[in-house]
Structures are given as structure tokens and as C-alpha cells.
Structure 1
Amino acid sequence: MKKLAYLMRRVVQGLLVLALIAVINFLLIRAAPGDPAAVMAGEAGATDEVFMAQLRERFGLDKPLPQQLANYLGHAVRLDLGDSYRQQRPVISLIAERLPATLLLTMTAFVISLSMGVALGAWTSARAGTWVDSLVSTLSMLFYATPLFWLALMAVLLFSVKLDWLPGFGFETVGAGHAGLARAADIARHLALPAATLALFYMAVYARMTRTSMLEVAQMDYVKTARAKGLSPRRIQRHHILRNALLPVITLAGIQAGSMVGGTVLIETVFAWPGIGRLMFDALVQRDYNLLLGTFLITAALAVAFNIVTDLLYTLADPRIELQ
């Protein structure tokens, strides 16, 4: 019952945050240079003022800014994000088409980076000061400092162009007509490079944080007591050090899980992955206000949801933490 009350309170707080985000995004986008009517008129080959005035009236861009904001918020509450200026389709349907691809990419990268990062951090913390620790720490810093788009381009050149092991672009083989397990295997081959590239950056972060946290926890009094009792080093490492050292890692993972969904623009662009990040970039270039606002709102909602889940996972990692 206590957890349910806490969950409901966090959901209400999350909704208030989303409302604030929606208002800020709306005002910032409207303040940006560029006119959607001018872009659409230019694409249609007609740039006269009468035609652009008709476009502004059609999409409600001729109304005062407060009225536009009120209309947007009123429709957003009903999960009506409007229609795309460019594609003439409901924004929610465009996002629904692209979101599964982004979630598949980001969640795969997230699982790989978190599991491998924690494993490497735990492994090197038990070997602190050795050449293994130095090597892993150096590689972690290297991957963390290397620009993500450069890693993506090098991965395409090496594994797709040079070695021809994996496809470098797209979600699946166009025109292959795969179904069932064959289609799943084809998507997995296309997923390998972008997911691995995205995972490398975050894996380096988790590895260093896990190592540092475990070395700090290893100096605590209860760990020294466990050693004095004669418990095996493996049991101490797993049950007494790692579990308590995971709390800051869980915090960071919860924040990054949400940011990864909206932060895959570079990866999706390089690998031509048809996700929401690429949709967001196209909407920005085309001044498609409704589509851009919709992608921002959905990614913000996912970030809020991941943060709520992170708070709940805290109590599983450390039962001493009480829900407030």
C-alpha cells in the first residue's frame, strides 16, 4: 500500500513536469527562427503572401501565441498531438511507427552497456592497481572521450565496408520478404552495429562508476567485519560490496535510459535507422512544429517514466531505503 501511494504521487509529479516541459518546448520552438508556412509554400513552388496566409490560417499559425498554446495544451491532454504540416498525417501515428525501432535500439544498447559495464567494473575493482585495471580504465576513458559519430562511421567502414560482416544501414533488408525467425534474425544483424556503437559510450561510464563505487564501499566497516568473520572474498564481493555499490549506478542508469531515447539522432542518422531521433531531426529541418513538439513530449514522458522506475528499483537494491 505504501508503494502504491508513492507510485501515484510520483505519477502526479511526473504529469506536472510534463505539463511544464510542454509549455517550455512550445515557447522555445515558436521563438526559433523560421516560418513553417514559408517552408511549405517554397516546397509547393508558390511564395506569394496570399498563399502563405492561407497556410497559416489552415494550421492555426495566424492566431495569437497564448491562444495557440492553449489550443495545443488542450489537445495534448486528450493525446491529440495534431497533424504533421509536412506529411499531412496525425503526429501520434508517425511517432507510433518510429518509436518501436528507437526503443529496440536504445533498450538493446542499454542492456549491453549496463550489464557489461557493471561486470567490467566489478572485475577491475577486485584487481585494482594491476595492469588489467589500467588497461580497462584506459579503454573506458578512450571510448568515453571519442565522439559517438566517429565511432559509428568507423564501425561502418570496418565491419560493413571492409570486412562485410554486418549490414551498415537500415532496419532490415529491403525487398527480402523475410518473415518469422528469418525476419528477426535479419533485424538483429542490422541492429548489431548501431546498438554496439551506442553501448560502448555508456558501458565505459558504467564500468568506471562501478569500479569507483566498489572500491569506496570496500573500505566500509561492515565489509571489514565480513572479512574478519572469514567469509570468502567472492561472497563479500558479490553480496556485501556490489549490491551497495550499485545504488549510484542505478541512479545514472535511470537518467541515461530516458535520455538515450531522445539522444540517438546521430546514431540513427549514420546508420539510417528509422527511429524517432531521425524523425525529430527531419521535423526540425522542415519546421514541422506539431511533429517536433510531439517527439519532444513523448521522449520527455519516457524519461519521466524511467525515473519513476529507477526510484522503485532503489528499494529493491537496498531495502533499507524507505519510500517518502
Structure 2
Amino acid sequence: MPEALSRLLRRLVLLVATLCAASALIFAALEWLPGNAAQLMLGAEATPEAVASLSAQLGLDRPAPQRYLEWVGGLLRGEMGLSHAYGVPVAGMLAERLALTLPLALLAMALTVALALGAGWWAASRQGRWGDHLVMGLSQLGLAVPGFWLGMLLTLGFAVKLQWVDAGGFPGWTADEGGQGGWWPGLRALLLPALALALVQSAVLARICRSALLEVAREDFMRSARARGLSARAALWRHGLRHALIPLLTVGGLQFANLLAGTIVIENVFALPGVGRLMGQAIANRDLVVVRNGVMLMVALVLLLNALVDLLHAWADPRLRTGSAA
């Protein structure tokens, strides 16, 4: 069997096993939470008979192993059940909110990579000079600034003072009868939240990019490039960036998980109707069906991205394609 196919099969088996383990942990963690969803929905004044009737209606009276197997079977069929709080299919709710959260995370990731690569290359090509110290100082500041606080500062500056964008809300990806919404207004609404997420995450990636480029600059092929007449900056840009991609891909895959987790706070700061805000509302209402499926969706997205990062590693490092890597 070719090495690439064998690697892909092993990655798929690991992906399925991780998803199974994650589903069991998510279900068990939510089962151990104190309180009763039926009691919370009916209120403190509800009678025990009413609580028992609603628990039976929601299926909460069945044994936990049975409910777990029913949940996993529903996931395999593409069914996530009904929300306890809203009484609508969870799959539709998550799909509607994911149409905002996923573009937000992808836009934030694109900004993170662009900022980190530019800043890392700038610092590495000016090692020991003022540009290097400036980038490292700003990245240290970015590591210390919370994303939600940065989001509020961006709102105050660009929405309240300059009035270039709206302070919050999302008009939708399609225009309504009043002409509100569309692709461009939607992207404008996501720009500040994505920037608030990206500035924090790019601080980490810029430092790693600088270190990787400085390490690559000591390689023999970089000295050969310099001997052919390329400047240090041009050699780093044309030849160094690709060879520095491997640690950047690894950290970038982990940062995407942080971006997805950060959307829970950022969406509440900017009043965006995404998965993060839905999860916050579901936790407050103890809507465990929404919480369970929402967390599982986030886990699946992160695992799929990690699998994609492995494939990109094989593209960036020829040793992984030929099987000669350690």
C-alpha cells in the first residue's frame, strides 16, 4: 500500500476514534451537571407531577446509556433532535448560526495568517534592529490583551467615533425586501469581530514565524540563495517562508480551535447571532440538546481542520510523502 494512502487511512481511523471518545465525554459531562432541564423550563413553582410529565416527554426519564446510543444514532442519520427551549430541530438552528460563525472564524484565520506572516518576515529580516524589537513588543502586548476588551476598543474607535462600520448586529448574507443585507454588508459586519480575534492570535503566530524564519536562514540553501545575489529579505520571502510553514501549520491548526472558542465571547460583544451566542443562550436555559450537539459540532470542525493540517504537512514537507521522515 502506498505510504500516502496508508497515512490517510490511519488518519481517518484516528479521526473516527477521537469523535467517538469526544461524544462519550461530552454526553457524560452534561449528564453530571446538577439540576433538571424540565424543572428549569417549568419554573420553581411547578409540581413534581408536571416536572415528571415533561421529563418523560423530553426523554429524560430513560437510562443514560439508552439516550446516548439514541443521540449517536441520530447524529449518524443527520438528526439532532428538538431543542428543549424552542421546540425546533437543532440541526436547522445550528446550520443557520454556523452560516455566520464559520465565515467569521475563517475571516479571522485569514487575517491572522496575513498579519503573522507579514510581521514575522519583517522582524526576521531586521533581526536585532528597531523593526524586530517593535514587532516583538507589539506581539507581547497582543498576548496580554483579552479579545473581548480589544473588541470593545475597536467598536469604540471605528463604530462610535469614526462611524465607519456598525457597532453590532448582522444584516444577513441575502438582501431583504428593504434592501438590508447582502454579501458586502455581511462582511463589513464581521470585519471588526474578525479583527479582534485575529490581532490576539496573530501575536502568537508572528513570534513563531520569526523564530522559524531565523532558523531557516541558517540553512545551506539560504546561503546559496544569498550567493546568487538575492538580498536577505528577498531570500526569506522567496525561499524561507515555505520551509517555515511546517511549525506554522501546526500552531495555526491549534489556533483555529482557539478562534472557534473565542467566537462565543466575541459574538456576544458584537451581538452576532452565531453558534457562540446560541451556545450561551442554551447554557443559560439548560437546553442540553443544543449544548451537546453544538459542542460536538465544534469538536468535529477542529478535528477535520487538524486532519487537513496533516495533509498540508505532507505537501510542505516532501519527506512525509516519500515516507523518509523519522
1:15 Cα offset (Å)? 1.6
> Aligned equivalents of 2:277 and 2:78: distance in 1?
22
Corresponding letter in the other structure for 2:65: P
Q: CA 1:234/1:136 → structure 2, altered by over 3 Å: closer, same or farther?
A: closer
Q: Give the Cα–Cα distance (whole angstroms) in 1 for the partners of residues 156 and 237 of structure 2.
A: 40
The offset of 1:77, in angstroms, is 2.3
SS at match of 1:199: helix
Counterpart position of 1:140: 139
2:148–2:196: 8 Å Cα contact kept in structure 1? no
> Corresponding residue for 1:321?
320
Q: Does 1:205 align with 2:213?
A: no
Task: Show the counterpart of 1:12.
Answer: 13
Give matches, 1:33-72, under 5 Å: 33-42=34-43, 47-72=46-71
Q: Which piece of structure 1 moves more, 142-151 or 167-176? A: 167-176
Question: Can you list the C-alpha shifts for 1:282-311, whole angstroms capped at 9, x where unaligned?
Answer: 111111111101001111111111011101
**1:115 partner letter:** A
Give SS of 2:321's match.
coil
Residue identity in the other structure for 1:29: L
Shift of 1:80: 1.7
Give the corresponding residue for 1:130: 129
For residue 5 of structure 1, report the CA deviation from its aligned partner.
Answer: 4.4
Gaps of 5+ in 2: none
Cα distance in 2 for residues equivalent to 1:183 and 1:38? 42
Structure 2 distance, partners of 1:231, 1:172, is 49
Secondary structure of 1:264's aligned partner:
helix
- Alpha-carbon distance, 1:237 to partner: 1.4
Name the amino acid aligned to 1:163: L
Matched with 1:287 is 286
CA distance in 2, matches of 1:115, 1:171: 25
Q: TM-score, normalised by structure 2?
A: 0.91
Give the alignment of 1:1-324 within 5 angstroms: 2-42=3-43, 47-172=46-171, 177-178=178-179, 183-228=182-227, 230-322=229-321
Deviation per CA, 1:68-89: give whole Å up to 9, x if none.
2222222222222211100101
Rounded Cα–Cα distance in structure 2 between residues aligned with 1:4 and 1:298: 27
In 2, the alpha carbon distance for the partners of 1:24 and 1:276 equals: 20
What is the aligned-residue identity percentage?
37
Q: 2:186 and 2:177 mapped to 1: Cα distance? A: 11
Offset at 1:275? Answer: 0.8
- Report the CA distance between 1:60 and its aligned residue: 1.2
Query: Is the contact made by 2:97 and 2:275 (CA closer than 8 Å) also made in structure 1?
Result: yes
1:252, CA displacement in angstroms? 0.8
Per-residue deviation, 1:212: 1.2
Q: What TM-score, normalized by structure 1, do the two folds share?
A: 0.92
The 1-side partners of 2:322 and 2:27 are apart by: 34
Alpha-carbon distance in structure 2 between the residues aligned to 1:154 and 1:236: 38
User: Aligned letter for 2:67?
Assistant: Q
Would you say the 8 A contact 1:6–1:323 is kept in 2?
no
Structure 1 residues 323 and 29: CA distance shift in structure 2, 3 A: farther
Kept after mapping to 2: 8 A contact 1:81/1:294: yes
Q: Secondary structure at the match of 1:52?
A: helix
CA distance in 1, matches of 2:184, 2:225: 47
Residue by residue over 1:266-288, the C-alpha shift from the partner in whole angstroms, topping out at 9 and shown as x without a partner, is 10000011111111111111111
CA RMSD of aligned residues (A): 2.2
Once residues 32 and 208 of structure 2 are traced to their aligned partners in structure 1, the CA distance between those partners, rounded to angstroms, is: 39
Given that 1:259 and 1:303 are in contact with CA atoms closer than 8 Å, whether structure 2 keeps it comes out as no
Structure 1 CA distance, aligned partners of 2:112 and 2:320? 26
Whether the 8 Å contact between 2:125 and 2:232 is mirrored in structure 1 is no
* Distance across 2 between alignment mates of 1:175 and 1:308: 38
SS at match of 2:241: helix
Instruction: Give me the whole-angstrom Cα distance separating, in 1, the residues matched to 2:264 and 2:177.
Output: 27
Residue 164 of structure 2: SS of its match in structure 1?
Answer: coil
Q: Distance in 2 between matches of 1:11 and 1:178?
A: 45
Equivalent position SS for 1:156 = helix
